[in-house]
Amino acid sequence: MPCVRVEREAGEETRQALADRDLLDKQREIVHEDGVLYIPVRESGDLPEEYDVVSRETPARETQTMPADLLEFEPSYERVGDVVLIDEDDPERARALADAILESAIPVKTVLNRASKIQGETRVREWEVLAGEETETRHREYGCEFALDLAAVYFSPRLATERHRVVEQVQEGEQAFDMFAGVGPFVIPFAKRGAAVVGTDINETAIEYLRENAARNGVSERVTAIHGDVRAVADEYEGWADRLVMNLPHSAAAFLDSARTIAGEECVLHFYDIQHEDDPFGPGVRAIREVMEPEYEVCVETERVVRSYAPHEHNVVLDVRLRRTETGG
Ligand SMILES: C[S@@+](CC[C@H](N)C(=O)[O-])C[C@H]1O[C@@H](n2cnc3c(N)ncnc32)[C@H](O)[C@@H]1O
């Protein structure tokens, strides 16, 4: 029986993508084993190559009722701890989906519907509360636990797989700087791998959660959390970083001067961007070269589409190795 094998953290994203393509075998249960999920897919399904397909037995479905079982449309939702997030413009559909989520086996405290785009400097979204009231929760991602309040900070569970890809590159003892740290989904796992990590954020509430999350995950001694504009902090960390994370898509290019200040002799930069599908990487690469050269030799090691962001727009990441040249002194 064919199943798609995927790490638990990428499970909901993968299940959703398979459901969208009508490839799920809804007669069988998803199986969880040692941090890996086996998602049953239809035998006749035409699966894209990106999936790791294995053959294994999974039990027939009979127990857990999921929202999809209670609705006439294929529902789309995300889970952040025990808060479920939906994105429905039509109030009737939103109500039906919220009711189905509450009635399903999903452990849920609050259901929130998107009420705005992410907005302003702090990138926080407004939410319409459809069930429950609390917007604070605790979310687990690849063995780390994050406390956060969705009404007060930015957080996206959809980036879990991408963050994990970056985390796996981190070496013990390195110095990493997250310029737009949020509640710490890069900072905390970096520190868990033995890096010394600095995270800055202009949102004071995010920095309070970052400190709490460092303590919660036992890495406070390796984490420095700074509230403020990274441009005002950069000089204190001149030449410090072996690794830089810039996850502020749309605006990161405007902060490359600060990145150059913070970068050490040799530094890997993870630069997130949102661009048109026709040239998703070009604008970022050009912006980085313009600021970093000739002081740094710029070597683009990875160009990756993280996810589709809007019709014809991609959220992408560039991994770029910077090496200081003689001009850079
Ligand atoms: C897209 S979020 C990313 C948060 C986190 N890295 C993550 O992946 O969840 C961008 C963050 O940058 C912060 N921010 C925006 N402008 C900033 C600035 N000038 N200096 C420091 N942080 C800033 C926002 O408050 C927000 O938390």
Alpha helices in the chain (DSSP H): 11-20, 91-103, 160-167, 187-192, 204-216, 230-233, 256-262, 282-292
Q: Among residues 275, 280, 277, 269, which one has the least CA distance to residue 303?
A: 280
pLDDT per position as a tens digit, 132-157 = 999 999 999 999 999 999 999 999 99
DSSP, residue by residue, 91-126: HHHHHHHHHHHHHSSS--SEEEEE-S-SBTTTTBPP
Q: How far apart are CA 100 and CA 104, in angstroms?
A: 6
pLDDT per position as a tens digit, 80-109 = 999 999 999 999 999 999 999 999 989 899
Ligand 1 pocket test: pick from 78, 139, 146, 154 the residue with the most ligand atoms within 8 Å of its Cβ: 154
Give pLDDT, residue 220: 98
Q: How far apart are CA 229 and CA 159, in angstroms?
A: 23
Helix (H, G, I), strand (E, B) or coil at 277: coil
Neighbours of 198 (CB within 10 A): 22
- Residue 246 CA to ligand 1 center (angstroms) comes to 8
Contacts of 66 (CB under 8 A, 6+ apart): 104, 105, 106
Q: How far apart are CA 192 and CA 296, in angstroms?
A: 29
Judged against a pLDDT cut of 90, whether residue 12 lies above it is answered with no
Give pLDDT, residue 65: 86
The dihedrals phi and psi of 189, each to the nearest 5 degrees, come to -65, -30
Q: Which residue has the higher pLDDT, 47 or 255?
A: 255
Is there an atom of ligand 1 within 6 Å of 181 CB? yes
Give pLDDT, residue 155: 97
Atom of ligand 1 nearest to the CA of 272: 1
pLDDT per position as a tens digit, 14-62 = 998 888 888 888 888 899 999 999 999 988 667 888 899 999 889 887 7
